[in-house]
Every structure is written in C-alpha cells, then in structure tokens.
Chain A
Amino acid sequence: MMNKKGEKLISVYWFAILVIVAAGIVLMVNAYYGNSYDVREVESRVLADKIANCIYFGGKVNPLLLTPQGVFREDFRDLFMERCSLNFSVEGEFTRIPYYTSVEFLSFESLRSQFSIFAGNNNFKSDCNIKVEGNEKLAKCSEKEFYMKTDSGKIYLVKILSIVEKTNENTN
C-alpha cells in the first residue's frame, strides 16, 4: 500500500515528464528571447522613405535637385548625404559601413536613366538578388518607386533601393 502510494507520488516517470516539459519550455523561451529583434527590413524602408521625402515632398521637387531649367544638378549628387540629412559613418577603423542606397531617375517616356545617385557600401547590392531560405545573414533590401512631376511638367520614374546590413546586431 505504502509502495503504491510512493510510486504514484514520486514516480520516476512523472518527474521525467516534468523534466521533459520544463526543458522544452526553457528551450523554446531561449530560442524566442535569445534571438535579437531583426529590424533591418523596417530600417531599410525608413531609409527609403527618408530619401523619397528628401527628393519629392508634398508634390514639390527638392529645389536643390534641379536647375530652374529642369536639369539635374551634379552638386546634389556630390552633397547627397548632406542634402538629405544622412550620416552613414560608423565607429571603428575597420568597421564597414552597413548601408547602401541608390536613386535612379528614369524618363517617363523611354524609361531610360537620366540621373542617378549612389551612397554607402555597394558590396551588399548582390545580396538583394539572392532568394534563398534562411537568408538572415544577408543584407536586407527595400525598393521604392514613385512618379515625380517637375515644375516644367516633366515626369520621371524615381527608383530607390536601400540596403541595411547590420547582421551582427540583428542575428545570433
């Protein structure tokens, strides 16, 4: 009688089940909380939005982008980071810049590139074309396009590509 009671209460099987369940929960919780939040996709979209707002905001083209004759200004390309309030500089001598962005202005009629701007580390550009599962170690890309109408009535298709790498900060 005593043995039966003991078996029922402190049964090895019962403790084995408890341990298995507890270990499973601990593993699942660690897998969830142990992983960093991956915010690179959101970050790349924010970057693309910021550049889009810098180029064309409220139906008005940035006055520093075009000359009064409607020609793209070379100095906008040279001073792109400053003009759009961007700063990609990172701490550390051998730390690579974790961003890349490109802006392409295509003619509405011919869809030919009329002007383009690049900034950041273009080594990550190839990551955007790799479509594989488990690609969290690759940089995250975001594309945005919209039409821009200048004061002179010319229409351009603007294509923005923004890339954020930051693999170490966002993956384990």
Chain B
Amino acid sequence: MGKRRGKKGEILVENIIFIVLNIAFLAILVIFLVNQGNGATFLEDSYSKQVALLIDSARPGMIIHINFESAKVVSDKNGIPFSEILIINGQYATIRLSEESGKSYHFFNNINIDRADPDKDTNGEYTGFYTLVFSNKNDE
C-alpha cells in the first residue's frame, strides 16, 4: 500500500517538474520573440520607411496622424524624449529610439512639411501619435 502511494508521488513530482521546465522554456522563447519584435533597430527601420512612404504619398493640404505607440514604449525605456524620435531633415525621415541607434530613409516628394510634432492630450501627456501637416513648397 505504502509502495503504491510512493510511486504515484514520484510520477506526480516528475510530471510537475517536466511541465514547469516546459513552461519555463516556452516563457523564455516568448520573451525572446517579443523583445525581437520590439527592438529599437527593427522599429527604427520600419517606422522610418513608413514615414518616408507617407511623405512620398502626401499632397499639399494633407494632415496625417501617425501612430508611434510601439516606438514610444521603446523610446521611453531608452530615455529618448518622444518629441525627438522623428526628425525630418532635408529629404530624409529619421527615427531614433535609442542613444546608439537611428535610421534614416530618403523620400522623393518635394513637399513642404509645415509641422511634424507629437500630439498631446488635455493633460499635456504625449498620446503616442505624431501629426504631419503638408503644404506646397511654393507656399513658403
């Protein structure tokens, strides 16, 4: 009777350790995957290209709101002010989400960008969006 109870106990302990190890392994993998997808370099590359393509498609008079919420999470973590993550200089859109990195992408549209500022809510907090206002180059 005592022996039988011992075997059951062993099986239970083995299974629990096995399951715990599997869960730990999967958790580490999931954390790795999430970190890869939210990495500064990866987001800088995709955001800079998205912004450049949006500018290329823009026409004078347009107002475009761009969602930078994922970038804000990373820039906040890396101590970069949200107001400084998007820089439009000349024909380049640059995204910088950490001190060490930054990615620029060229756009061909010769349009005037009147405003490229982060949006704020009523409390003065950044919402995670940027507003871009376009006008004709000749209207300057």
Q: Which residues from B are CB-within-8-Å of A47?
A: 56, 108
A29 to B119, CA, bound (A): 33
Please encode chain B, from 92 to 119, with 1 for each CB lying within 8 Å of some chain A CB and 0 for all others: 1000000000000110111100000000
Of B31-39, B66-74, B122-130, which binds chain A?
B31-39
Distance A43 CA – B93 CA, assembled complex (angstroms):
14
Are B10 and A33 within 8 A (Cβ)? no
Query: Is A64 interfacial (CB-CB < 8 Å)?
Result: no
Q: Which residues of the partner chain A approach B32 to less than 8 Å between Cβ atoms? A: 25-26, 29
> What residue of chain A has the Cβ atom nearest to residue B109's Cβ?
A85
Contact, CB under 8 Å: B29 / A22: yes
Contact: B29 with A86, CB < 8 Å? Answer: no
Given A9-B18, A36-B45, A87-B91, the answer on whether A42 and B110 have CB atoms closer than 8 Å is no
Contact B110 A81 (CB under 8 A): yes
A interface with B by C-beta (< 8 Å) = 5, 8-9, 18, 22, 25-26, 29-30, 33, 36-37, 39, 42-43, 46-47, 49-50, 81-82, 85-91, 98-99, 166, 169
Binding site for A on B (CB under 8 A): 10, 14, 17-18, 25, 29, 32-33, 36-37, 39, 42, 45-46, 49, 52-53, 56-57, 90-92, 105-106, 108-111, 136-137
Task: Using A9-B17, A39-B53 as known contacts, say yes or no to A87 and B110 having CB atoms under 8 A apart.
Answer: yes
What's the Cα separation between A29 and B33 when bound, in Å?
7
- Interface majority SS (helix, strand, loop, mixed), chain A: helix
A5, A81, A82, A87: which has the most chain B beta carbons within 10 Å? A87
Using A26-B32, A33-B39 as known contacts, say yes or no to A43 and B25 having CB atoms under 8 A apart: no
Please give, as numbers and ranges, the residues of chain B lying within 8 Å of A98 by CB-CB distance: 106
- Given A37-B46, A50-B109, 5 more pairs with CB closer than 8 A: A33-B36, A36-B45, A46-B53, A85-B111, A89-B90
State whether A37 and B110 are in contact (beta carbons under 8 Å apart), knowing that A43-B53, A85-B137 are contacts in the complex.
no
Q: Which residues of A contact B29 (CB under 8 A)?
A: 22, 25
- A and B contact pairs by CB, cutoff 8 A, 14 listed: A8-B14, A18-B25, A33-B39, A43-B52, A43-B53, A50-B56, A85-B109, A85-B111, A86-B108, A86-B110, A87-B110, A88-B108, A89-B91, A90-B91
